[in-house]
Amino acid sequence: MRRRTEGIRKLNPPQNTSNVLEEEVRYLKGVGPKRATLLARLGVNTVRDLLLHLPRDYEDRTHARPIADLRVGEKAVVSGTIADVQFRPTQGRARGILQVTVEDRTGSLTLAWFNAHRAWAKSFAIGKPITAYGTAGFYGGLQIVAPDYELGAAPAESEKFGRILPVYSLTEGISQGVLRKIVLAALELAAAEMPEAVPRSLCRARKLPGTTQALWHAHFPADMKDKDAARRRLSYEELFAFQTALALNRARLQKARGIAFRVGANVDRRIRQLFPFDFTPAQNKVIQEVAGDMRADHPMNRLLQGDVGCGKTVVAVYATLAALAESSKGYQAALMAPTEILAEQHYLTLRSLLERARVRTALLTSAATPQERSRNLQQLADGDLDLVVGTHALIQRDVKFRDLALVVVDEQHRFGVRQRLALREKGLPPDVLVMTATPIPRTLALAYFADMDVSIIDEMPPERKPVTTEQYLPADWQRAFEAAREELRNGRSAFVVYPLVEESQELDLTSAKEGCEDLKTRVFPEYPCCLLHGQMSQKAKQEAMDGFRSGRYQVMAATTVVEVGIDVPQATVMIIQHAERLGLAQLHQLRGRIGRGGHPGKCFLLAEPRTEEARRRLEVLTRTNDGFLIAEEDLRIRGPGQLFGTQQSGMPEFRCYDFSDTEILKQARDDAFALVGKDPALRRPEHAVLRRKVLAEYGEGLALADVG
Ligand code: ADP
Ligand code: MG
């Protein structure tokens, strides 16, 4: 660890020194308002954020390597004497290519700068020592282009050499050098202030260093082992707090009194009669688990996993109807979906199933006028509505239920853990059933849903024909459209999906809109085509969905909004443009939209894979239809950081934990659950810091008072 005190000074001392971690970064030495704005783009607003903005990589510059040992593509430090200096002008006379030959006892290489100033060559004197760092390349000989370097006899340690340097994720306007200095200033100022949330006994048992030391070592490690231990510690702490929140939630729900629904044989028979098919054995098994939870007098908290198309909706509908069956009780149920389109679809499904029942149902989406919304809210609060279907808008603070008894959350992926915990705020804890869109790898499910019971549907409805999936390179795209035309001729329908272009909704829309024009005028002029994307008005969306469902439109050009839940039996074709841009789970989810009506589905991946990873992804998809296998593959190919590290996934965002180590996830879970088992309200003094941290980060739904 290296602490250098020179040049580190606070411009403005914090008002409250005990809370220096919460101080805005702009008051930190070397930051100021302009850089603070840039740092905010990295999610860095406070000194604490800065301390937890861990390096994405490290440059090990502790030792120079013998030149003869260098391998092409490797980053390394070399140290030697200058043997030759060459300048070749390229533009006029002032600028050109500068090549400096360096020799050590084992060999020689060239340091090269393109577009260098002629005058610069003079700073390199033959026979003088030089140390340089960069990536070794080969251009007629070993070469490092534009290395970081230092002239003069190599000191044991300097700002650039003899140490391990952190490499941070940057944003335009802030360089590595600047960020390193700023982080160092933050460490000097505040590393010692970071509270120790992990109880000492656990630190000892798991061999974790203290927080202050871990912060220093994570940013400026003396060796790579220190760095690993430090990062492990910071990851553990983050996971531990998260798992403690889940453990508290579980403990709380197990103690809480909930509603004991009467799900009897009559109710069961009445619900089954509503469906035109028999439930599969897997559906029956899960329905029994759910019904068991509902009968029990403590709240259900269950996760339902199943591959796309396995019939999870049936379970959701069953639970909903069972909850509302005793109409005299005045119970209310809420069904939440990730998108408005899916919410509408669920709403329509439920309304048609409930035609003869006296269930008062409403759809609550952002498209409602303020008057409609406030009327619905009033009715919910008064108990004049029994069932409400909607998006996340349902858990906003102004939504009050008279007696919310059941919440079903469809497609958990987009629904954050914090939101899940926040559900608990509304009166008596309701029964909660959460469904995933596609399977989640086992290790991760265990960690993320550690507070929940898990049910799995592991079989498909009987007539389901597996979807065949083929990949087409650009030269063959026309063939894919021809194959699709065959299906359209037989009266089936086709989706054509235009995925997100560079995370930009604007471009995304343009490509779907232009795609739609192209389909209408050139590709399938003989078949009516509609457009669907998230930015359309509620009415326009409805028109498109209704038209596509009824067969009036046989082709739908869409963004990935069709990814979740849409159920149109005659749709047999899924054409995905630029499939290489999408992740495995998303592609699998998309192709789950077709082949639902007893006719086999055909999925065409129109792709130009440029990376090995993209090639593997597409290959997996053409090879298997098994969502559980695909989830495991996805984990292997991309790593969980990519899988779950995004906001969209709904998983908590970790700042330190990078998902590369699942063992630590299990340890944190075991430790947190054991700790909460012993101290269920975190009342012991040695848990005070942890308690504060957990409440600050996950507190919304965790009324600790309920636990004790
Ligand atoms: P997901 O699990 O992807 O949400 P859905 O619930 O949307 O799947 O079901 C997919 C399709 O299978 C729907 O059209 C549904 O009506 C149908 N389905 C569900 N269960 C059965 C069953 N037991 N027998 C026949 N068809 C079923
Ligand atoms: Mg579904």
Q: What is the torsion angle, in degrees rounded to the nearest 10, for the CA atoms of residue 401, residue 406, residue 411 and residue 414? A: 40
Residue 160 clears pLDDT 50, i.e. is over it: yes
- Measure the CA–CA gap between 85 and 608, rounded to whole angstroms: 45
Closest CA to 559 of 611, 505, 636, 596: 505
**Distance of alpha carbon 618 from alpha carbon 416, whole angstroms:** 28
Ligand 1: which of 278, 286, 310 to mutate, most ligand atoms within 8 Å of CB? 310
Q: Is the pLDDT of residue 649 over 70?
A: no
SS3 assignment, position 123: helix
Q: How many C-beta atoms lie closer than 10 Å to residue 141's C-beta?
A: 11
Neighbour tally for 222: CB within 10 Å: 14
pLDDT digits (tens, 9 = 90+) for 397-430: 678 888 889 999 887 655 666 666 666 545 568 8
Q: What are phi and psi of 570, to 5 degrees?
A: -85, 0
Q: Are the beta carbons of 343 and 391 closer than 8 angstroms?
A: yes
**pLDDT of res. 482:** 92
Q: Give CA separation, 360 vs 329, 351, 408, in Å.
A: 14, 9, 17
Strand-strand pairing, 431-435 and 404-409: parallel
Q: 94 CA distance to ligand 2 centroid (A)?
A: 67
Provide the residue type at 6 as one letter.
E
Over residues 464-475, the pLDDT tens digits come to 778 999 999 888
Q: Are strands 453-457 and 129-138 parallel, antiparallel or unpaired?
A: unpaired
Please enumerate in sequence order all residues whose Cβ is within 8 A of that of 488, keeping only pairs 6 or more positions apart, or say none: 494, 524, 527, 554, 555, 573
Q: Which residue's structure tokens are 């990062």?
A: 231
CA–CA dist 211, 588 (Å, integer): 42
CA distance 216 to 379: 56
What six digits make up the tokens of 13?
Answer: 């001392």
Mutate to test the pocket of ligand 1, among 272, 277, 562 (most ligand atoms within 8 A of CB): 277
- Give me the pLDDT at residue 513, please: 84
Distance, CA of 614 to CA of 691 (rounded, Å): 43
Neighbour count for residue 41 (Cβ, 10 Å): 12
Which of the four pLDDT bands, split at 50, 70 and 90, describes residue 628? confident
From atom 5 of ligand 1, which residue's Cα is the shortest distance away? 311
Model confidence at 10, pLDDT cuts 50, 70, 90, reads: very low
Whether the per-residue pLDDT at 572 is higher than 70: the answer is yes
Kindly report the protein residue whose alpha carbon is nearest to atom 15 of ligand 1.
311
pTM, rounded to two decimals: 0.76
Q: How close is the Cα of 316 to the center of ligand 2, in Å?
A: 9
Q: Which of 428, 273, 416, 419 is nearest to 354 (CA)?
A: 273
Angle among Cα 624, 625, 630 to the nearest 5 degrees reads 75
- Inter-residue contact 244 to 672 (CB < 8 Å): yes
What is the three-class DSSP state of 598? coil
Q: Which band of pLDDT confidence, cut at 50, 70 and 90, is reported for residue 158?
A: confident
Q: What are phi and psi of 192, to 5 degrees?
A: -70, -15
Centre of ligand 1 to C-alpha 123, Å, is 74
- Give the residue-averaged pLDDT of 5-34: 67
Query: Strand (E) positions, 68-107?
Result: 75-91, 95-103
Q: Which ligand is nearest to the CA of 310?
A: 1
Query: Using an 8 Å Cβ cutoff, are 147 and 134 in contact?
Result: yes
Backbone angles phi, psi at 629, to 5 degrees: -65, -40
**Closest atom of ligand 1 to CA, residue 437:** 3
Where does residue 682 fall: left (phi above 0), alpha (psi -120 to 50 degrees), or beta otherwise? left
Measured in whole angstroms, the distance separating CA 626 from the mean position of its chain's CA atoms is: 22
Q: Give the position, in ligand 1's atom list, of the atom nearest the Cα of 457.
A: 2
Separation in Å, CA 136 to CA 81, 108, 112, 644 = 17, 12, 11, 35
The residue among 140, 142, 119 whose CA lies nearest residue 67 is 142
How much distance in Å is there from the Cα of 311 to the middle of ligand 2? 7
Residue nearest to ligand 1 atom 9, measured at CA: 311
Lowest model confidence (mean pLDDT) among 79-88, 240-249, 423-432, 527-536:
423-432
Beta strand 142-145 with 129-138 is antiparallel
In this structure, the residues whose C-beta lies within 6 A of any atom of ligand 1 are 277, 279-280, 283, 306, 308-314, 461, 567, 592, 596
Residue 648 has pLDDT above 60, yes or no: no
Which ligand 1 atom sits nearest the alpha carbon of residue 280?
23
Q: Which of 254-258, 335-339, 643-647 has the lowest mean pLDDT?
A: 643-647
Gap between the Cα atoms of 344 and 567, Å rounded: 12
Give the nearest ligand 1 atom to 315 CA. Answer: 6
Reply yes or no on whether the pLDDT at 181 is more than 60. yes
Among protein residues, the one with the nearest Cα to ligand 1's atom 19 is: 311
pLDDT in tens, 578-596: 898 888 888 888 898 898 8
**Spatial contact of 399 and 360, defined as CB atoms under 8 Å apart:** no
Q: CA 630, 337, 281: angle at the middle one, nearest 5? A: 55
Token pair 């329509």 is at which residue?
Answer: 348
What ligand 1 atom has the least distance to the C-alpha of 312? Answer: 2
- Measured from the alpha carbon of residue 337, the closest ligand is 2
Measured in Å, residue 308 CA sits from the centre of ligand 2 at 7
Is residue 564 packed enough to be buried (19+ CB in 10 Å), middle (13-18) or exposed (0-12)? buried
> Could you say which ligand is closest to the alpha carbon of residue 309?
1
Task: Give mean pLDDT, residues 594-606.
Answer: 89
CA of 591 relative to ligand 1 center, distance in Å: 15
Q: Average pLDDT of the chain?
A: 85
Among protein residues, the one with the nearest Cα to ligand 1's atom 18 is: 311
CA of 632 to the centre of ligand 2 (A): 21
Interhelix angle 176-190/32-40, nearest 10 degrees: 100
Q: What would the mean pLDDT of 586-611 be, rounded to a whole number?
A: 88
CA distance 415 to 338: 7
Cα–ligand 1 centroid distance for 456 (angstroms)? 15
Q: Do 651 and 417 touch, CB atoms closer than 8 A?
A: yes
Among residues 178, 168, 164, the alpha carbon closest in space to that of 75 is found at: 164
CA distances to 413, 606, 613, 640 from 637, rounded to whole Å, are: 19, 21, 7, 9
Partners of residue 496 on adjacent β-strands? 557, 575
600 CB neighbour count, 10 Å cutoff: 13
> Could you tell me the two tokens for 378?
């009033």
Longest dimension (CA), the chain: 96
Residues 270-311 have pLDDT tens digits of 999 989 899 999 999 999 999 999 999 889 999 999 988 899
Q: Which of 433, 436, 567 to mutate to test the pocket of ligand 1 (most atoms within 8 A of CB)?
A: 567
Query: Could you tell me the end-to-end alpha-carbon distance of the chain, in angstroms, rounded to an integer?
Result: 42
